[in-house]
């Protein structure tokens, strides 16, 4: 850090955000919880209560009075402990960058206090706001870039295909949700801001044309940014067609086997099993309006039998009893209806392997000639 100029501010470019080993966010915890920059940790200058008091003072008495109050609130041993936390982080990550909301007073104060301890750390000019604008510009540019969208019935392993492609952008992965009513994953979902930032960094790391999965705009608790969503609606589609038995195996792996592994790893066998079962029952109940009472009761009964058999034998194939009619009676008709509403003719239709080969060739062709066809 010896080459860093005291008080230096760096324009938040993609390279800065990507290459910094650590970003130190000195905003209050409540601000950080709403969304941060990718790879950031929260080591605040002020806690939530202190920030609120300074904000009230600013509105009532102006900036000078608010600044004086801030220094009064964070002084003595409190200042020492917060400066020490920044020092510890910089000891592990000497090329770290520091930022606050707009790159102004809070990060500037942190920078000054660290300089007094012999540590010079650059801060992001414009702070979180400017860095967010940089990231959102990436997504807006991707919205007008060439893309392909992979479509297909539930269970066609569209996400697996996205992961197999170097140009594939995994929207569900960033949303931490598999997209359907049964797609919730253990743990806390991302905030909208964190989802948008992770998505932008992913896009920036790849070359156009990009490949996305056919999704509703809302995935779990987050939404695809509107410009990108509009671009995906207009993008060429390719359609995977696989038989029900093949898709059933895929759905069982996603909805049962993989989900059970995640819950067991997160919560242990007993609580993990209970939470997974509760989630899958709740997901089915949420479809009551579309399934109707009689069909819902039948599927809940089949689901209960499957869980009892699964816990007795350890064989997840028992769940085929409710997953198969869920596909054939609910998801497949719904998808066929939605497909019928779309006037766009798929650019290609084939099996999973055929579509994968087509997409790879289409991407290569676009990169050579600039035209997906």
Residue 21: name the closest of 96, 90, 128, 131 by CA. Answer: 96
Q: In this structure, what DSSP letter does residue 189 have?
A: P
Residue 48: name the closest of 66, 36, 33, 30 by CA. Answer: 30
- pLDDT given for residue 370 in this prediction: 67
Centre a 10 Å sphere on the Cβ of residue 199 and count the other Cβ atoms it contains: 27
Domain limit, last residue, from 101, 134, 167? 134
- pLDDT given for residue 203 in this prediction: 97
| Per-residue pLDDT tens digits for 216-265 | 999 999 999 999 999 999 999 999 999 999 999 999 999 999 999 999 99
Q: Is residue 189 one of the residues assigned to a domain?
A: yes
The dihedral formed by the CA atoms of 339, 342, 346 and 349, expressed in degrees to the nearest 10: 10
Hey, is 120 helix, strand or coil? coil
Residue 147: name the closest of 239, 236, 238 by CA. Answer: 236
CATH no. for residue 34?
3.40.250.10
* Residue 9 confidence (pLDDT) above 90: no
Do 178 and 254 contact (CB within 8 A), yes or no? yes
Q: Are residues 119 and 54 in the same domain?
A: yes
* Residue 371 confidence (pLDDT) above 60: no
Q: Is residue 151 one of the residues assigned to a domain?
A: yes
- pLDDT given for residue 364 in this prediction: 94
Q: Are residues 322 and 356 in the same domain?
A: yes
Q: Are residues 304 and 184 in the same domain?
A: yes
Q: Are residues 241 and 355 in the same domain?
A: yes
| CA distance linking residue 135 with residue 301, whole number of Å | 48
Q: Are residues 186 and 88 in the same domain?
A: no
Q: Are residues 268 and 358 in the same domain?
A: yes
Do 307 and 277 contact (CB within 8 A), yes or no? yes
Residue 211: name the closest of 140, 158, 254 by CA. Answer: 158
Residue 39: name the closest of 53, 26, 59, 25 by CA. Answer: 25
Q: Is residue 139 one of the residues assigned to a domain?
A: no
| Per-residue pLDDT tens digits for 199-213 | 999 999 999 999 999
* Residue 290 confidence (pLDDT) above 50: yes
Q: Which helix (H) or strand (E) element contains residue 239?
A: strand 237-240
Q: Is residue 94 one of the residues assigned to a domain?
A: yes
Average pLDDT, the chain: 92
Do 165 and 252 contact (CB within 8 A), yes or no? no
- pLDDT given for residue 182 in this prediction: 83
- pLDDT-based confidence at residue 372 (cuts at 50, 70, 90): low
Q: Is residue 70 one of the residues assigned to a domain?
A: yes
Q: Which domain holds residue 16?
A: 9-134
Q: Are residues 116 and 202 in the same domain?
A: no
Domain limit, last residue, from 80, 111, 134? 134
- pLDDT-based confidence at residue 103 (cuts at 50, 70, 90): low
- pLDDT given for residue 128 in this prediction: 96
Give the residue with greater pLDDT, 317 vs 180.
Answer: 317
- pLDDT-based confidence at residue 89 (cuts at 50, 70, 90): very high
* Residue 151 confidence (pLDDT) above 70: yes
103-109: long-range contacts, CB 8 A cutoff, minimum separation 24: 103/9, 103/127, 103/129, 103/130, 105/67, 105/70, 106/26, 106/27, 106/45, 106/46, 107/26, 108/7, 109/45, 109/70
Q: Are residues 284 and 241 in the same domain?
A: yes
- pLDDT given for residue 373 in this prediction: 45
- pLDDT-based confidence at residue 6 (cuts at 50, 70, 90): low
Region 271-298: mean pLDDT is 94
- pLDDT given for residue 343 in this prediction: 74
Q: Is residue 119 one of the residues assigned to a domain?
A: yes
Q: Are residues 293 and 157 in the same domain?
A: yes
Q: Is residue 1 one of the residues assigned to a domain?
A: no
* Residue 111 confidence (pLDDT) above 80: yes
- pLDDT-based confidence at residue 2 (cuts at 50, 70, 90): very low
Q: Are residues 243 and 196 in the same domain?
A: yes
- Which residues does 369 contact at the CB level (< 8 Å), separation at least 6? none
| CA distance linking residue 32 with residue 38, whole number of Å | 11
Region 190-197: mean pLDDT is 97
- pLDDT-based confidence at residue 3 (cuts at 50, 70, 90): very low
Do 26 and 112 contact (CB within 8 A), yes or no? no
Q: Are residues 149 and 124 in the same domain?
A: no
Q: Which helix (H) or strand (E) element contains residue 104?
A: none
Residue 101: name the closest of 53, 19, 44 by CA. Answer: 44
CA dihedral sign of residues 326, 332, 333, 338: positive
Q: Are residues 87 and 152 in the same domain?
A: no
Domain limit, last residue, from 134, 164, 195? 134
Hey, is 155 helix, strand or coil? coil
Query: Which stretches within the chain are classed as H helix?
Result: 14-19, 29-34, 48-61, 63-73, 76-92, 105-116, 127-143, 158-164, 171-175, 192-204, 226-234, 244-252, 259-267, 269-285, 288-291, 293-313, 320-326, 332-341, 352-369
Region 172-192: mean pLDDT is 88
* Residue 165 confidence (pLDDT) above 90: yes
- pLDDT given for residue 155 in this prediction: 93
Region 118-146: mean pLDDT is 94
57 is catalytic: no
**Domains: count for the chain:** 2
Q: Is residue 107 one of the residues assigned to a domain?
A: yes
| Per-residue pLDDT tens digits for 51-83 | 999 999 999 999 899 999 999 999 999 999 999
């Amino acid at each position: 850090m010896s080459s860093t100029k005291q008080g230096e501010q760096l324009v938040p470019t993609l390279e800065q955000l990507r290459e910094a080993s650590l970003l130190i966010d000195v905003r209050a915890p409540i601000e950080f919880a709403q969304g941060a920059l990718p790879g950031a940790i929260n080591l605040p200058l002020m806690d939530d209560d202190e920030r609120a008091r300074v904000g009230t003072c600013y509105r009532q008495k102006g900036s000078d009075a608010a600044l004086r109050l801030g220094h009064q609130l964070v002084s003595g041993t409190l200042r020492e402990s917060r400066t020490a936390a920044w020092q510890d982080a910089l000891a592990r990550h000497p090329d770290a960058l520091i930022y606050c909301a707009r790159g102004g007073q809070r990060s500037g104060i942190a920078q000054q206090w660290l300089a007094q301890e012999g540590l010079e750390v650059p801060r992001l000019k414009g702070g979180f706001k400017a860095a967010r604008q940089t990231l959102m510009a990436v997504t807006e540019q991707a919205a007008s870039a060439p893309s392909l969208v992979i479509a297909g019935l539930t269970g066609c392993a569209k996400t697996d295909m996205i992961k197999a492609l170097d140009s594939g952008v995994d929207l569900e992965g960033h949303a931490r949700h598999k997209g359907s009513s049964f797609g919730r994953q253990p743990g806390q979902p991302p905030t909208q801001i964190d989802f948008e930032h992770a998505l932008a960094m992913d896009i920036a790391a790849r070359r156009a044309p990009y490949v996305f999965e056919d999704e509703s705009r809302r995935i779990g608790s987050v939404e695809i940014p509107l410009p990108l969503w509009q671009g995906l609606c207009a993008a060429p589609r390719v359609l995977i067609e696989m038989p029900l038995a093949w898709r059933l195996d895929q759905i069982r792996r996603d909805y049962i086997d993989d989900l059970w592994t995640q819950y067991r790893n997160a919560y242990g066998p007993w609580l993990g099993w209970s939470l997974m079962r509760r989630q899958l029952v709740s997901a089915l109940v949420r479809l009551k309006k579309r399934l109707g009472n009689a069909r819902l009761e039948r599927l809940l009964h089949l689901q209960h039998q499957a869980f009892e058999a699964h816990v007795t034998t350890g064989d997840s194939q028992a769940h085929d009893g409710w997953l198969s009619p869920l596909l054939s009676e609910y998801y497949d008709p719904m998808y066929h209806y939605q497909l019928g509403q779309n006037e766009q003719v798929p650019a290609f239709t084939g099996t999973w392997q055929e579509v994968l080969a087509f997409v790879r060739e289409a991407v290569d062709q676009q990169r050579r000639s600039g035209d997906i066809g």
